[in-house]
Amino acid sequence: MARSRSTLEVAKAVGIGKTTLLDWLRDGRIPEPKRVSQGGVEVRLWSDRDVERVRKFKEANYRKGRGRKKSAEA
């Protein structure tokens, strides 16, 4: 059975900050993972597939220290 991860665990595994990951979610750059209610608090449960999507998005669009990659048109 696949393990579910927290947002912080995913950010650390991919090598980005939690705030960056939340920004990408808020802006619709990556799909929202499954949410569940635990003790009256909604949490995101990230599957291995969700983590891989974040990793691929990062590789295509993000460079640490320099922000977004420049587009090929520029």
33 close to 19: Cβ distance less than 8 angstroms: no
In a domain? residue 68 = no
pTM listed for this prediction: 0.78
> Is 70 a member of any domain?
no
Domain residue limits at 19: 7-63
51, part of any domain: yes
Q: How do residues 10-58 score in pLDDT, each as one tens digit?
A: 999 999 999 999 999 999 999 999 999 989 999 999 999 999 999 999 9
Model confidence band, residue 2 (pLDDT cutoffs 50, 70, 90): low
2 lies in some domain: no
Phi and psi angles of residue 33, each rounded to the nearest 5 degrees, phi first: -75, 175
Q: In the chain, how many domains are there?
A: 1
Tell how far CA 17 is from the center of its chain. Answer: 9
Q: What angle do CA 69, 71, 74 make, to 5 degrees?
A: 125
Query: Residue 38's pLDDT is what?
Result: 86
Is 52 contained in some domain? yes
